[in-house]
Amino acid sequence: MSVEVSGIGFDDPVLLASGILGSTGASLNRALRSGAGGVVTKSIGPRERTGHPGPNVFVDDSEEYALNAVGLSNPSDAFTDEVEKVEGPTVVSVFGGTADEFADVAGTFAPYADAFELNVSCPHAEGYGVDIGADAELTRDVTAAVDEAVDAPVWVKMTPDVTDVTEIGVAAQEGGADAVVATNTLSAMAIDVESGRPILGNAHGGMSGSALKPVAVRCVYDLYDALDIPIVGVGGVSSAEDALEYMLAGARAVEVGTAVWDGVEVLGEIADGIETYKKDNDLSHDELVGRAHELTPKEDGDGGEG
């Protein structure tokens, strides 16, 4: 069942996504006990932050999506006390406003991280996240700075809010990324009709959940054609079928976020379902990953770069 992504082995290809139940060592261990093959921490930055005023998160009545604007709340360096308790493969998510800040934070957590995930894609914190990850040059610079600062593999988390996600993916790869993660939430807003106000305290937020999945699957599919480095899929995975969609599109592993609101046990259930599918279809993990590309009719002059 074990898979390898960028040289790191995971017991199964289902990881806890960043920003989900990931504020403490104990909560990350709980995800591991529930069947996650690895965990991604909440994004940690150069300074402690309490985040935006609430409402910070809500799940829509349709249950098809959640919106959040937590605002990169984090305890900064004090998180070292938490991450050192984690008893499984640990991807430390970091953010900063500049390449140097990214490199400094990654350096602080180097003793605890099996890999780093660079949050250049949070859509609701000015000066951070997507302000970097929508720009190819900044993405390349940040990735290169972290790659130079630490020995561990560097994963770069993509925003879906760009015209061409492959341009950003290629920039990350050129900067030395060992994997890309696709995607972060989609910039979004909801308005409370009765009061007339945006629901989120920050007005703008990020959309996650099932409604994000077709957008992020398309990103993974396109990145698979464009890149040589592995891809981790994330966005609206709540079942093994969802995870398999990402893998067929080209993801070696998936991250699960919003779906834990039904119970963290979903992590293990998804991992078991992937394994069953591979056995039933007599597919190795390598054969599964990207298989949809082989089965896609290609038009002349299109999609030949993979």
Partner 1 sequence: MRPITLEVTDRVKEGDGIATLRFDRSFDVSPGEFGMFWVHGVDEIPMSFAYDDGVTVRGVGEATDAMLSLSEGDTFGVRGPFGTPFDVPDDDVVIVGGGTGMAPVALLTEAASANGADVTTLIGAGTADELVFEERLSRVADVRVATEDGTAGYEGLVTGLLDDVTDEKGAPSNVGSCGPEPMMSAVLDRFDDRPGDVQLCLERYMKCGVGICGSCCIDDTGSPVCSDGPVYRGDELTNGEFGVYHRDGAARKKYF
Residue ranges in contact with partner 1 by CB under 8 A = 19-31, 42, 48-51, 53-61, 66, 68, 70, 73-76, 78-79, 82, 190, 192, 194-195, 197, 199, 201, 257-258, 260-261, 263-264
To partner 1, the closest distance from the beta carbon of 94 in angstroms equals 15
To partner 1, the closest distance from the beta carbon of 114 in angstroms equals 19
> Was 258 annotated as part of a binding site?
yes
CA–CA distance, 93 with 113 (Å, rounded to integer): 9
Pairing of strands 154-158, 66-68: unpaired
- Name the maximum alpha-carbon separation found in the chain: 55
CA–CA distance, 1 with 104 (Å, rounded to integer): 35
> Was 69 annotated as part of a binding site?
yes
Helix 266-280, helix 240-249: angle, nearest 10: 60
> Was 18 annotated as part of a binding site?
yes
Catalytic residues: 122
CA–CA distance, 54 with 56 (Å, rounded to integer): 4
DSSP per residue, 201-269? TTS-EEEESGGGHHHHHHHHHHHHHH-SS-EEEESS--SHHHHHHHHHHTEEEEEE-GGGGG-TTHHHH
Of 66 and 217, nearer to partner 1 (C-beta) is: 66
> Was 56 annotated as part of a binding site?
no
Of 68 and 159, nearer to partner 1 (C-beta) is: 68
Phi, psi of 283 (to 5 degrees): -115, 135
Which tokens sit at 159? 């925003």
Of 89 and 175, nearer to partner 1 (C-beta) is: 89
To partner 1, the closest distance from the beta carbon of 48 in angstroms equals 5
> Was 16 annotated as part of a binding site?
no
Q: Is the dihedral of CA 45, 49, 52, 58 positive or negative?
A: positive
Of 191 and 281, nearer to partner 1 (C-beta) is: 191
> Was 157 annotated as part of a binding site?
yes
To partner 1, the closest distance from the beta carbon of 31 in angstroms equals 8
Of 4 and 192, nearer to partner 1 (C-beta) is: 192
CA–CA distance, 83 with 87 (Å, rounded to integer): 9
Pairing of strands 66-68, 57-59: antiparallel
To partner 1, the closest distance from the beta carbon of 226 in angstroms equals 32
Q: Point out the annotated binding site for substrate.
A: 42, 68-72, 119, 184-185
Binding residue numbers for FMN: 18, 42-43, 119, 157, 209, 235-236, 257-258
